[in-house]
Structure 1
Amino acid sequence: MGPFKHLAMTCSLFLASVPLAVGQTFSSDRLEFRLETVAAGLAYPWSLAFLPDGSALVTERAGRLRMIRDGALEADAISGLPELVVSGQGGLLDVLLHPAFADNRTLFLSYAHRTGSGMTTRVAKATLQQDRLENVEVIFEALPRSGSTRHFAGRMAFDSSGYLYVAVGDRGEMDRAQDTADDAGGVHRMTVNGEPAPGNPGLNNSRINDTFYTWGNRNIQGMTVHPDTGDIWTHEHGPRGGDEINILRAGTNYGWPEITYGIDYSGLPITLDTRKEGMAQPLHYWDPSIAPSGMAFYTGSLIPEWQGDLFVGALKLRKLVRLRITDDIVREEEDLLTDFGERIRDVRMGPDGALWLLTDASNGKVHRLVPAQ
């Protein structure tokens, strides 16, 4: 039995074991739903991963990896994390399970790291044994480093071939996103050991770093796999306006900062161009910015009204966006949780059929979104 089938079988375990604090009910175009609080007291939770035994791992940007087991947040953090730094937008970021986690207990962490040369985004793999990480190994480090504390990106995903995708932001230094000899401002595709994946566009081109898959990306904080096509979908922060949803294609330049639908924070234009030959157009964009973070397709049976829809969390505008997309065109867009008042950091499809959300706060929470009835 594969690990993803094993995960699907944990649905009843989750429903039976999570002690729920039932919150308010919300309305949407297609159904009434409510939020159930699973855990609270987390310091800026950033990512969530479901384990085959029905427990879940939660990263705190403040530098801790936590476990929700038997429906409760354990008091003690997982030990053995790699050395990392918490500064600005950096800290402990994404957690992702190896596709064969049920057999090898391997997981991957993205995080900010500092040396005398500055800060950067790193990825380490490790083995989870009880409540400790062992065999911790750094497999990727974006170079060069810089003094910036912004735009680490850090979202990760696996494709159907078992290759790992890692997003690295432009570090707040926008021109780096067009420099393919600089690891900033793009998505890197690699094996589980950090080696360049076969077929990467830079393998036969000395001007492109060999782990690059795409570039011209500003700061990706949403990454998910399309349930039907297997394509990797991302979204990224624009400046003032120009948040984008993109489908990753090998060797594609997504344009930042040569083209954008946003303007500088000062109010001045970054560029007058929204299109250029050889640069991809987004599937969808927001203007004004919503500050997107977290991203998941709904694939469960608990809420059939939302089957196949894409959900995106929003930090700045404090909401959850539902998108119905067919033929790569947004046919419906609905804002949810607009009265909730919380910054949504991550959105995950749970093995129980619920949507799981993380709120970005010093007292961050883990919520399940379920039908009201």
Structure 2
Amino acid sequence: MTLKKGIVYALLIASVVACSEKNGTEHPDTATPVATVIESEKLKFTIDTLTDKLDNPWGMAFLPDGRILVTEKKGEIRIIKDGKLLDEKIENVPAVYDHGQGGLLDIALHPDYTTNGWIYLSYAKPGEGGGGTTIARTKLNGNAFIEFKELFSAQPFVDSEVHFGSRIVFDGKGHIFFSSGERGTKENAQNLGNHLGKVLRLNEDGTVPTDNPFVNKAGAKPEIWSYGHRNPQGLVYNITTGELWDVEHGPKGGDELNKVEAGKNYGWPVITYGINYDGTPITDITKKDGMEQPVWYWVPSIATCGMAQVISDIYPNWKNNFLVGALAQTHISRVEVDNGKYVKHERLLEKVGRVRMVKQGPDGYIYIATQSPGMIVKIVPAN
């Protein structure tokens, strides 16, 4: 068994792990971590690699029995048990619109999963006109989904391969929040008559809460919580503070961290700190009355994706910080916010891979899903 060239964490100070090379030889179940200590500003830590053999992992859910379910964009759900990737896969997964950024996306357990067994999925559903971001819930019987029920599909379906959004969070009060990108058409984000470029809120059974901000507004979709978003692929809800946060992709420049509040307009594409990919301007303004400013924005873009807010005592010096995945710039951005105001940020795990998801597990540890290579890794304090 030889070392795999090209899957090396080119971290700030040293390589952390190497994996097996194909060369016709057997693959190990997991990569073999090297106990290199990484010294960041506020924490010394090592990396524990659970697997390096996933195909574009997107979301993670932690079952009470210790198994981790990992969605792959192509439409499969893999199982990690006792730190190893199993050959078995979850059965009865819905068909997905696996085009571009579309496919099987997020997965989340209901907060009272041990009682009701509900698992929520977001995915790009194929249909007339192309595909659309869809929310469904189901239960697990052995390794198969049962009692599958579609709750919502963002309208209209669009023949576009970009900007599906799709993260799912719960507020612990009977509601789910999830995101929907504007599907590559900027104007959708300001149009309350569709679900695109929005953060949406439903009751856990898929019905519309009567106190949603636009539920009584003529012509507006009642599921809308906030609008003016480009493509939010990171979403967290802080149960303690009652705050909802997102990170969303800007164009060329202008990725945003936002505190998301009911009925508010987050400006895309009327205001932005980014420009078109060809270098031409999108707008000549970055601020406008009635439109929210980001708490923080990245120029140049890092391609923000999954995010977590650290609440675990395992990382006391990171408490309440946001850990934001970067796809294009292949690192984690640790962002400090105090009373809703940006304080500072730090780059962690440089060149770890395209970070698709960051999540705090029920054991308190931070887990990271990366694409190219397709890995799940865990951040472990050095002490």
Compute the TM-score of the two structures, normalised by the length of structure 2.
Answer: 0.89
Aligned to 1:371: 381
Question: Could you tell me which amino acid in structure 2 is paired with residue 372 of structure 1?
Answer: A
Query: What is the match of residue 255 of structure 2?
Result: 243
| Contact in 1 for aligned 2:58/2:72 (Cα 8 Å) | yes
Shift of 1:19: 7.8
Q: Counterparts of 2:98 and 2:315 in 1: how far apart (Å)?
A: 38
- Asked if structure 2 preserves the Cα contact closer than 8 Å seen for 1:98 and 1:108, the reply is yes
Matched, 1:49 2:71: no
Aligned pairs (5 A) from 1:1-373: 21-23=32-34, 24-338=36-350, 340-361=351-372, 363-373=373-383
Letter in 1 for 2:379: L
Residue type of the partner of 2:308? Answer: A
Determine the structure 2 residue equivalent to 1:12: none
Deviations along 1:106-143, one digit per CA (max 9) or x if unpaired, are 11111111223221111111111110001111100011
Q: Is contact 1:82–1:124 with CA below 8 Å preserved after alignment?
A: no
State the shift of 1:227 in Å: 4.9
Tell me if the contact between 1:227 and 1:299 (Cα under 8 Å) persists in the aligned partners.
no
C-alpha deviations, 1:50-104, integer Å up to 9, x for none?
1122221111111111111232211121001112121110110000111211112
Alignment partners' CA distance in 2, 1:250 and 1:31: 35
Alpha-carbon deviation of 1:327? 1.1
Give the deviation of 1:160 after TM superposition.
Answer: 2.6
The AA in structure 1 aligned to 2:104 is L
- Aligned residues of 2:171 and 2:239 also touching (Cα < 8 A): no
SS state at 1:177 partner: helix
Q: Which letter does structure 1 place at the counterpart of 2:69?
A: L
**Residues 263-305 of structure 1 deviation map (CA, whole Å, 9 limit, x = unaligned):** 1111011011111111111111111101011111112222222
Aligned residue for 2:89, secondary structure, equals coil
Q: What is the distance in 2 between the residues matched to 1:143 and 1:31?
A: 44
State the aligned residue count: 354
State the identity as a percent: 39
Answer yes or no: is the 8 Å Cα contact 2:76–2:90 preserved in 1: yes
Q: CA RMSD in A?
A: 1.5
Q: Secondary structure at the match of 1:76?
A: strand
Q: 1:175-218 CA distances to partner (integer Å, 9 max, x unpaired)?
A: 11111001111011001221112211221111210100011100
Q: In the alignment, is the contact (CA less than 8 A) between 1:159 and 1:231 conserved in 2?
A: no
Give the CA deviation at 1:351: 2.1
Instruction: Read off the aligned partner of 2:146 and give its amino acid letter.
Output: E
Which position in structure 2 is the counterpart of 1:15? none
- What letter is aligned with 2:283? T
- The DSSP-based 3-state class of the residue aligned with 1:74 is strand
Which segment is superposed worse, 289-298 or 223-232? 223-232
CA distance in 2, matches of 1:165, 1:259: 24
Q: C-alpha displacement at 1:41, in angstroms?
A: 0.8
Given the superposition, is the C-alpha separation of residues 19 and 351 from structure 1 closer, same or farther in structure 2, using an over 3 Å criterion? Answer: farther
* Secondary structure class of the residue paired with 1:103: helix
Q: 1:21 to 1:225 in 2, by over 3 A?
A: farther
The 1:227–1:125 alpha-carbon spacing in structure 2 relative to 1, beyond 3 Å, is: closer
Q: Extract structure 1 runs of 4+ deviating beyond 3 A.
A: 18-21
1:143 and 1:34 map into 2 onto residues whose CA distance is 44
Give the C-alpha shift of residue 372 in structure 1.
Answer: 2.3
Question: Structure 1 residue 371: deviation in Å?
Answer: 1.4
What TM-score, normalized by structure 1, do the two folds share? 0.92
